[in-house]
Structure 1
Amino acid sequence: MCSVLTRIRPIHRAVALSLRLGANTEGSSYAATQSRRLSPGKNSVVDLQRNARFYCSRMAKTEGLLFRQLFEVESSTYTYLLADTNTREAIIIDPVLETIDRDLSLIEELGLKLILAVNTHCHADHITSSGLMKKRITGLKSAISKFSGASADILLSEGDKIRFGKHYLTVRETPGHTDGCTTFVSADESMAFTGDALLIRGCGRTDFQQGCAKCLYDSVHDKIFTLPDDCLVYPAHDYLGQTVSTVGEERKYNPRLIKSKDEFVEIMNSLNLPKPDKIDISVPANLVCGLHGL
Structure 2
Amino acid sequence: MLLRRLASVATARGLATAPGAGRQLLMRQLFEASSCTYTYLLADAGSGDAVIIDPVLETVPRDLQLLRELGLTLRYAANTHCHADHVTGSGALRRALGCASAISRASGACADVRLGEGDELRFGSFALRVLPTPGHTPGCVTFVLDDSSMAFTGDALLVRGCGRTDFQQGHTMTTVGEERLHNPRLRLSPDDFVALMERLQLPRPRLMDLAVPANLRCGIQDEP
- Structure 2 residue aligned with 1:170: 129
Contact kept, 8 Å, 1:251 with 1:257, in 2: the verdict is yes
| Residue 257 of structure 1: how far off its partner (Å) | 0.9
| Residue 61 of structure 1: how far off its partner (Å) | 4.8
- Structure 2 residue aligned with 1:119: 79
Q: How many residues align?
A: 211
Contact kept, 8 Å, 2:10 with 2:27, in 1: the verdict is no
- Aligned counterparts of 1:81 and 1:60: Cα–Cα separation in 2: 13
- Aligned counterparts of 1:293 and 1:277: Cα–Cα separation in 2: 21
- Structure 1 residue aligned with 2:59: 99
Contact kept, 8 Å, 2:82 with 2:212, in 1: the verdict is yes
Contact kept, 8 Å, 1:79 with 1:95, in 2: the verdict is yes
The structure number with the bigger radius of gyration is 1
The partner residue of 1:266 within 183, 188, 195 is 195
Equivalent AA in structure 2 for residue 105 of structure 1: Q
| Residue 246 of structure 1: how far off its partner (Å) | 0.2
**3-state secondary structure, aligned to 2:134:** coil
- Aligned counterparts of 2:222 and 2:167: Cα–Cα separation in 1: 24
Give 1:27-66 correspondences, 5 Å limit: 58-62=14-18, 63-66=23-26
| Residue 133 of structure 1: how far off its partner (Å) | 1.0
- Structure 1 residue aligned with 2:39: 79
**3-state secondary structure, aligned to 1:155:** strand
Contact kept, 8 Å, 2:14 with 2:26, in 1: the verdict is no
Contact kept, 8 Å, 1:183 with 1:192, in 2: the verdict is yes
Structure with a larger share of its residues in strand: 2
- Structure 2 residue aligned with 1:284: 213
**3-state secondary structure, aligned to 1:198:** coil
Contact kept, 8 Å, 1:151 with 1:289, in 2: the verdict is yes
| Residue 293 of structure 1: how far off its partner (Å) | 3.2
Unaligned runs of 5+ in 1: 4-55, 210-237
- Structure 1 residue aligned with 2:178: 249
- Aligned counterparts of 1:293 and 1:268: Cα–Cα separation in 2: 36
Cα displacement string for residues 23-74 of structure 1 (whole angstroms, at most 9, x for unaligned residues): xxxxxxxxxxxxxxxxxxxxxxxxxxxxxxxxx9754352411100000000
Contact kept, 8 Å, 1:57 with 1:70, in 2: the verdict is no
- Aligned counterparts of 1:271 and 1:253: Cα–Cα separation in 2: 20
Q: Against the structure 1 CA distance between its residues 266 and 61, is the aligned structure 2 distance closer, same or farther, given a 3 Å change threshold?
A: farther
TM-score, normalised relative to structure 2? 0.90
- Aligned counterparts of 1:119 and 1:188: Cα–Cα separation in 2: 20
Cα displacement string for residues 212-237 of structure 1 (whole angstroms, at most 9, x for unaligned residues): xxxxxxxxxxxxxxxxxxxxxxxxxx
- Structure 2 residue aligned with 1:205: 164
- Aligned counterparts of 1:187 and 1:2: Cα–Cα separation in 2: 17
Q: Against the structure 1 CA distance between its residues 74 and 2, is the aligned structure 2 distance closer, same or farther, given a 3 Å change threshold?
A: farther
Contact kept, 8 Å, 2:54 with 2:88, in 1: the verdict is yes
Higher relative contact order (CA 8 A, sep 6+): 2
- Aligned counterparts of 2:14 and 2:182: Cα–Cα separation in 1: 23
TM-score, normalised relative to structure 1? 0.69
Contact kept, 8 Å, 1:61 with 1:190, in 2: the verdict is no
| Residue 175 of structure 1: how far off its partner (Å) | 0.5
| Residue 258 of structure 1: how far off its partner (Å) | 1.2
- Aligned counterparts of 1:60 and 1:252: Cα–Cα separation in 2: 26
**3-state secondary structure, aligned to 2:219:** coil
Cα displacement string for residues 244-286 of structure 1 (whole angstroms, at most 9, x for unaligned residues): 0000000110011111111111111110111011000000000
